[in-house]
A and B are shown apart, each in its own frame.
Chain A
Amino acid sequence: MARLRVAACLLAGMILAGAMAADGISERANRLHFSSLVIDTHDDTTQRFLDGGFDLAARNPLGSIDIPRMREGGLGAIFFSIWMPSKITGPEAVKRALDQFDAVREEVRKHSNHLVLVTTVEGIQEAHRHGKIAALIGVEGGHMIASDLSVLRVYASLGARYMTLTHSGNAEWADSSTAFPEHNGLTEFGKDVIREMNRLGMIVDISHVSDKTFADVLEISRAPVFASHSDCRAICDAPRNMSDDMIRALGAKGGVIQINYHVGFLSQEFRNAEKAHPEWNKAIALEVRRRCGEREGCQLIEGDRITREYVMRGDLPRVEWTKIIDHIDHAVKIAGIDHVGLGSDFDGANMPFGMEDASKLPKITQALLEKGYSEGDVKKILGENTLRVMAQVERVSHEMNAAN
């Protein structure tokens, strides 16, 4: 019966794949894509759960993620992000984070015929075998633990499998790439946080952090680390992206850079235009407020929509989805095929043209094959590299706990 269901799923996938010929996906790419475990390590859809009125099971006209589009795009595992602005700290941040954990867990329970909450490599693989989408949780910002290791452990118990050490602002114990440095990287307590994450089997996520924080992490962490959603500075010189040296060092420690699809991180041209007109960002922010009030999920999605209006008017440059491939290819050239993956930032960023939602993911497989990547290499990028890091993180955790 289970095998029948899987077969039916595969069949449905193939039929859908056939229907997507308009996107120019070859039969080979389709076959490869839908037989691979495709993992996305960063999605801000959680905010939409909290807004209310969002149905994950229905095909939504807005945003990038829902079950129908994940199925259509062959997305097999998704990290739902727990996020709030860095300025929210202390107990308030802790309580709000719990609300978001609950939102993800409730949503997964509600759609248990399609989704299953997992925390391990084994869990992801088992979900995949049963034709289910593996749901995981990542905490985007160390400010949410309120400088309290107990809270970190509770998050791990509730299913968090990675934590980004900072968001846009500094945490109490780690500098961000987009704030004035206060700690010279990680504080002593910050180093304890890394050790505890190692022990708990949480992946240390160095997206968002300052270069010095990154260097400190590489030195302290006993397990490989990853960048859950970052791009290459060599192509787009944003502090949120990684320099070639950083990518190389990350790869040398067994880590992975998960490529972010946000236009402001993909395209230097876009970034330059944004910087030249800071008033546009302000205007966009104002309009977002007008449309959404305090609803974070709405804000993220409307931000993407309004930015697109600027592009359509010709104010901001149009960025094509193929830029994603440029970043993947660059990172592969720098660090090797074993050290690159996918971290879209869907539902939390401005998507390039042609990668509006999860249904477009097979285009990445197609493009990589066209570039001459072997099927085995494509599978690594789609998810196997991320699984390897998770497995190593799990091993380090077992070793540390056994030694205790």
Chain B
Amino acid sequence: MRQVRVSLFACVVMAGFLLSQVATGDDIADHAHKLHFSSIVLDTHDDTTQRFFSKSFDIGKRNPDGHIDIPRMREGGMNAIFFSIWIDGRTMGPPAVQKALDQIDAVHENVNKYSKDFAFCRTAEEVRRAHAQGKIAALIGVEGGHMIGNDIRVLRMFGDLGVRYMTLSHFYNDEWADSSTDKPVHNGLTDFGKDIVREMNRQGIMVDISHVSDKTFYDALEVSKAPLIASHSSCRALCNHPRDMSDDMIKALAAKGGVIQINYEKSFIDQAYKDASDKFSGGVVAMMDTLKKECGDNEECLNKKMTEMADKATAEGKLPHVSWERIIEHIDHAAKLAGADHVGLGSDFDGANMPEGMDDCTHLPQITEALMRKGYSDDDIRKILGGNLLRVMEQTERVSREMRAAQ
């Protein structure tokens, strides 16, 4: 009798368990919402920094345009953000250094101004602490090696000012690294470029291989003692763009413990859009060049015009529609290829053309729900949302400590 009761109880538990496995659509939505809003949702690439120089932009208020501000980050459950320091890759030397400092300062000033919402973070541990306190972790990435003025001392000062990753190049080659969208001149990394990677390791600055040429990527992979990140790149197997990563590259990146942070830019995630865009504007670099004539050095204007131009062309049927679900396809492709430990999110918000349905960061919970529907486990989803990147940060910190201790 007792045994029967026990097995009956087991049966009920089992049924409940099975029910939870075949939950209704609403249950998934509910569970996804809970998972999303209890996770560290970390985005490694946001060009919002450019907007800090515009008088009309206030990150503390809800803005009618752009993709990022505190109210919308709260709404989208985005609680860790890398503000990108970026200037055109053809500005080099001391002027590039000073402009980069202006932007680093702008990030710090805005974080200080909204210190109730933001906590400036330099380590994975600090990101976790910020999250525990209900704050948004603010971090800094430098998007382009041209901003160090070919000077390893400047790199170290960027590190001391809180820079936690540096993309080795932007659209153009810099003095020591080839870009994926420029004619190669260095055959990847120069010897000085390799010294830069080693110094980044020593300083605990993550090496970012988004934007760099394939050869630069493989050189960096060979030299770096710490895992690498692609802060905002997608998969070439789905959209054959030089800015994206081939399957071989993604596998090699993962084999060294790295992470590909999927970029939401339409021309990097959708082949049809990329092809049409190449015909329409000669590709992303040529388009930026055209707009630069209109906007000068005003980067906010540049991003705005770029979006306007793309939206208009789409409305006129010159460019195809791209759904936000393409983002999920890229995440899924990279995860299937390299494992769920090696994929993350690097939106390119406020610096790229967003696909339909990912109009700003309030839409981020959709990613969690879509992954759940695809059968991803809670653990894997948490990793993709931010855990993987924090793991790379921790490993980078460990390598830094080891290198300093060995000196």
B13 is an interface residue with CB less than 8 A from chain A: no
B108 touches which of A98, A102, A105, A153 (Cβ 8 Å): A153
B134 is an interface residue with CB less than 8 A from chain A: no
Q: Identify the stretch in B151-159, B174-182, B317-325, B331-339 within 8 Å (CB) of chain A at 4 or more residues.
A: B151-159
Report B-chain residues with C-beta under 8 Å of the C-beta of A151: 98, 101-102, 105
Produce 1/0 per residue, A4-19, CB < 8 A to B.
Answer: 0000000000000000
Report A-chain residues with C-beta under 8 Å of the C-beta of B65: none
- Cα distance, A98 to B98, chains bound together (Å): 10
B149 is an interface residue with CB less than 8 A from chain A: yes
Within 8 A of A (CB), among B220-237: none
Contact-size category for A: 20 to 34
- A229 to B: closest C-beta gap in Å: 25
Given contacts A98-B153, A153-B108, A153-B109, contact A158 B160 (CB under 8 A): yes
Report A-chain residues with C-beta under 8 Å of the C-beta of B93: 91, 95
Is B157 touching A148 in the complex (CB atoms < 8 A)?
Answer: no
Given contacts A102-B157, A158-B161, contact A150 B97 (CB under 8 A): no
A157 is an interface residue with CB less than 8 A from chain B: yes
Is A90 touching B94 in the complex (CB atoms < 8 A)?
Answer: yes
Cβ-closest chain A residue relative to B95: A91
Cβ-closest chain B residue relative to A157: B161
B94 touches which of A92, A103, A158 (Cβ 8 Å): A92
Determine which residue in B106, B109, B154 has the highest number of CB atoms from chain A within 10 A of its CB, and name it: B154
Report A-chain residues with C-beta under 8 Å of the C-beta of B151: 95, 98-99
Report A-chain residues with C-beta under 8 Å of the C-beta of B157: 98, 101-102, 105, 158
- Cα distance, A157 to B158, chains bound together (Å): 11
Is B153 touching A94 in the complex (CB atoms < 8 A)?
Answer: no
Report A-chain residues with C-beta under 8 Å of the C-beta of B95: 91
- Cα distance, A101 to B98, chains bound together (Å): 15
Is B154 touching A154 in the complex (CB atoms < 8 A)?
Answer: no
Within 8 A of A (CB), among B90-122: 93-95, 97-98, 101-102, 104-106, 108-109
Report B-chain residues with C-beta under 8 Å of the C-beta of A98: 97, 101, 151, 153-154, 157
Is A94 touching B160 in the complex (CB atoms < 8 A)?
Answer: no
Determine which residue in B98, B105, B154, B156 has the highest number of CB atoms from chain A within 10 A of its CB, and name it: B98
Report B-chain residues with C-beta under 8 Å of the C-beta of A148: 98, 102
Is A99 touching B153 in the complex (CB atoms < 8 A)?
Answer: yes
- Cα distance, A94 to B95, chains bound together (Å): 9
Given contacts A92-B94, A105-B160, A151-B98, contact A99 B154 (CB under 8 A): yes
Report B-chain residues with C-beta under 8 Å of the C-beta of A90: 94, 98
Report B-chain residues with C-beta under 8 Å of the C-beta of A153: 105, 108-109
- A172 to B: closest C-beta gap in Å: 14
Cβ-closest chain A residue relative to B149: A95
Report B-chain residues with C-beta under 8 Å of the C-beta of A150: 101-102, 105-106
A146 is an interface residue with CB less than 8 A from chain B: yes
- B167 to A: closest C-beta gap in Å: 20
Given contacts A91-B94, A94-B101, A151-B101, contact A157 B153 (CB under 8 A): no
Given contacts A105-B160, A154-B161, A157-B161, contact A91 B97 (CB under 8 A): yes
Cβ-closest chain A residue relative to B404: A109
Is A91 touching B98 in the complex (CB atoms < 8 A)?
Answer: yes
Within 8 A of B (CB), among A97-121: 98-99, 101-103, 105-106
Report B-chain residues with C-beta under 8 Å of the C-beta of A105: 156-157, 160
Is B94 touching A106 in the complex (CB atoms < 8 A)?
Answer: no
B153 touches which of A91, A102, A146 (Cβ 8 Å): A102
- Cα distance, A92 to B338, chains bound together (Å): 45
Cβ-closest chain A residue relative to B109: A153
- Cα distance, A105 to B161, chains bound together (Å): 12
Cβ-closest chain B residue relative to A103: B153
Is B156 touching A102 in the complex (CB atoms < 8 A)?
Answer: yes
Report B-chain residues with C-beta under 8 Å of the C-beta of A91: 93-95, 97-98
Cβ-closest chain A residue relative to B156: A102
Report A-chain residues with C-beta under 8 Å of the C-beta of B149: 95
Given contacts A95-B151, A102-B156, contact A157 B108 (CB under 8 A): yes
Report B-chain residues with C-beta under 8 Å of the C-beta of A95: 93-94, 97-98, 149, 151, 154
Report B-chain residues with C-beta under 8 Å of the C-beta of A103: 153
- Cα distance, A230 to B151, chains bound together (Å): 35
Cβ-closest chain B residue relative to A91: B94
Report A-chain residues with C-beta under 8 Å of the C-beta of B156: 102, 105-106
- Cα distance, A154 to B153, chains bound together (Å): 15
- B104 to A: closest C-beta gap in Å: 7
- A325 to B: closest C-beta gap in Å: 40
Cβ-closest chain A residue relative to B160: A158
Cβ-closest chain A residue relative to B155: A102
- A193 to B: closest C-beta gap in Å: 15
Produce 1/0 per residue, A148-164, CB < 8 A to B.
Answer: 10110110011000000
Report A-chain residues with C-beta under 8 Å of the C-beta of B97: 91, 94-95, 98
- B114 to A: closest C-beta gap in Å: 12
- B348 to A: closest C-beta gap in Å: 25
Lowest 8 CB-CB distances: which A-B pairs, in order? A91-B94, A150-B105, A102-B153, A95-B94, A91-B98, A150-B102, A91-B95, A94-B98
Using CB atoms and an 8 Å cutoff, list the residues of chain A in contact with chain B. Answer: 90-92, 94-95, 98-99, 101-103, 105-106, 146, 148, 150-151, 153-154, 157-158
A-B contacts, 15 of them at CB < 8 A, read A90-B94, A91-B97, A94-B94, A95-B151, A95-B154, A99-B151, A99-B154, A105-B157, A146-B98, A150-B106, A151-B102, A153-B105, A153-B108, A158-B160, A158-B161
Q: Known pairs A148-B102, A154-B101, A157-B160. 16 more at Cβ < 8 A?
A: A90-B94, A94-B97, A95-B98, A95-B151, A98-B101, A98-B151, A98-B157, A99-B153, A102-B154, A105-B156, A105-B160, A146-B98, A150-B101, A150-B106, A151-B102, A151-B105
Using CB atoms and an 8 Å cutoff, list the residues of chain B in contact with chain A. Answer: 93-95, 97-98, 101-102, 104-106, 108-109, 149, 151, 153-154, 156-157, 160-161
